[in-house]
Structure 1
Amino acid sequence: MKRLATICARKNSKGLPGKNKLLLNGTPLYAIAISQAVKTEYFTSITVSTDDEEILENSLLYGADLTVNRPPILTTDQAGKPETILHALLETEKELGISYDVVVDLDVTSPLRKVEDIKGAIDMLELNKVSSVVSACISHRNPYFNILEIDSKGKISVSKTVNPPYLSRQLSPKSFDMNAAVHVWNTQALKSNPIVIFNDSLIYEMPEKRSRDIDTELDFEIVKFLSENSNK
């Protein structure tokens, strides 16, 4: 089984500038993702896709096998992540001459995932022979109970309505937050249709503590606290 890990690290971030290079316990976030991929011992190759010169220069030193210079069309806010991963896959196959069976994307801003999460999500995809597996955690907000929408007339309603309504979150159908920590694809499925969720996709459930994704300064402070106190 040939497996490719992709690590996508865009230079610009409006929410938290330079977030992919932030230091957590003295190590850049993108380097943590590379190290986690290496430690699984599952991957034939590890590719970093970026438009950041510093990341391009240093990723091989941290253990990546290849860096892909991401084209400008894939560096905008409108560019989809699956398209970026597909580009990295195709460039890697062309450069290294390898056809991969499985593609795994490790989001740089989800550093609290464990090696066991990466391996578990891959095993789930390969055992069940599905198109994709996405990591997620139980949501504390539920569209049947306490997620609200406002319509064009200003009327407020619960996002998903049923009759009779659910009277507590605990009684509502279980909902999940995608945490971006691990996305796994069957390569042919990704090439055929670069999307995340297919009809046969499965969820790899992770605990909330390992599901923190860094989008803001507050997110980063929370991740730092959890990382520094992980053994306490």
Structure 2
Amino acid sequence: MKRLCTICARAGSKGVVNKNIREIDGKPLLAYSILQAKASNLFQTIAISSDSTEILNVASKWDVDYLIERPMYLATDHAPKIPAIQHALLTVEELANQYYDIVVDLDVTSPLRHVSDISNVVNLLETKKVSNVITGTPAKHSPYFNIVEINDEGIVQLSKALDNPIFCRQDAPKSYDLNASIYAWQREALLNCKTIFNKDTLLYIMPEERSIDIDSELDFEYVKLLMSKRSNDID
């Protein structure tokens, strides 16, 4: 079983400038995902994909196997992530002259994951033999209780109304926020998918404190605070 870890780190972040290489506790942000991938001992190959020479140069200092130059059409603000991961997989396979059975993408902006989360996601994918596994955390708000939409007439309504109204959140069906931390695919499922949702997609649930996705300066400061309280920065 050959496994590839991809770490996609494009330039051009608007919410946090240069966030992928900004330092937390003396390390660039992308280094945490690299170190976690290495510590898991799951991957034959670790590859960084980026449209930025500066990011690739920083990544090269952390002993990854391949630095993939991502085409600009895969690195725009509106470009989906899956084609970038597919491109990284096919590029590495050509360079390494081998196929990978499993592809796991670690999001740079979710450094609070534990190594055990990576191992558990891969184990779930391989034991259940599903197309892919994604990660999430229990939602703070519920579409059955306090997430609303405004219809074409300007009237507010619940996003998902039930036949029997719910009067406290605890009675609502469980819902989850995707945390963008770990994506794992069987190779063929990845190459043939356009979205992260397949008929057999499974969710691996992570706690809130390991599910912060850095998308703003406040997120960045919050992650720095949480990391300062950890005894081991890759866990």
Contact kept, 8 Å, 1:5 with 1:105, in 2: the verdict is: yes
* 1:184 corresponding residue in structure 2: 184
C-alpha displacement of 1:60: 2.8
Moved more, 65-74 or 55-64: 55-64
Residues 159-182 of structure 1 deviation map (CA, whole Å, 9 limit, x = unaligned): 001121111111100001111111
- The answer to whether structure 1 residue 120 and structure 2 residue 120 are counterparts is yes
C-alpha displacement of 1:82: 0.7
Structure 2 counterpart SS, 1:48: strand
Instruction: Please give the TM-score of this superposition, normalised by the length of structure 1.
Output: 0.97
Distance 1:39 1:63 in 2: 13
Write the letter of the residue equivalent to 2:141.
Answer: R
Distance 1:161 1:53 in 2: 49
- The answer to whether structure 1 residue 2 and structure 2 residue 41 are counterparts is no
Distance 2:29 2:209 in 1: 17
Distance 2:20 2:130 in 1: 30
Distance 1:20 1:58 in 2: 10
* 1:132 corresponding residue in structure 2: 132
Residues 155-211 of structure 1 deviation map (CA, whole Å, 9 limit, x = unaligned): 111100112111111110000111111110011101112421111011111110000
- The answer to whether structure 1 residue 16 and structure 2 residue 19 are counterparts is no
Write the letter of the residue equivalent to 1:114.
Answer: H
- The answer to whether structure 1 residue 85 and structure 2 residue 75 are counterparts is no
RMSD: 1.0
Write the letter of the residue equivalent to 2:41.
Answer: E
Distance 1:24 1:3 in 2: 28
User: How much identity, in percent, do the aligned residues show?
Assistant: 45
Residues paired across the two proteins, number: 231
Distance 1:154 1:19 in 2: 38
* 1:65 corresponding residue in structure 2: 65
Instruction: Please give the TM-score of this superposition, normalised by the length of structure 2.
Output: 0.96
Tell me which stretches of 4 or more aligned residues in structure 1 moved more than 6 Å: none
Residues 29-49 of structure 1 deviation map (CA, whole Å, 9 limit, x = unaligned): 111111111111100100000
Structure 2 counterpart SS, 1:6: strand
Gaps of 5+ in 1: none
* 1:26 corresponding residue in structure 2: 26
Structure 2 counterpart SS, 1:62: coil
Residues 75-124 of structure 1 deviation map (CA, whole Å, 9 limit, x = unaligned): 11121111110010010001111200000000000000010000100000
Distance 1:195 1:160 in 2: 22
* 1:166 corresponding residue in structure 2: 166
